[in-house]
Structure 1
Amino acid sequence: MTELQTPRLRLHAIDTAEGERIVGRRAGANDAWAGDFPFDGDVNGVMAFLRATAAHGDQRPFGHYRITRTADGKAIGGIGFKGQPVDGCVEVGYGLAPSARGHGYAAEALVALLNVAADHGLTRVVAHTTADNVASQRTLEHAGLRRAGIDGELYRYETRLDVPSRPAQMPVRARRQG
Structure 2
Amino acid sequence: MAELNTGDGGGGKGGKVRSKKQNSKVDLTAMVDLAFLLITFFMLTTSLSKPQSMPLGLPAKDDKETKIPPVKTDQRRTVTIILGDGDQIKWFHGLLATPEPNGTPKTTDYGKNGIRKILLDRVASIPVVMGNKEKGMIVIIKPTKKSTYKNLVDILDEMAICKVPTYAIVNDFTPEENKLAEELNK
TM-score by length of 1: 0.29
TM-score by length of 2: 0.28
More strand by share: 1
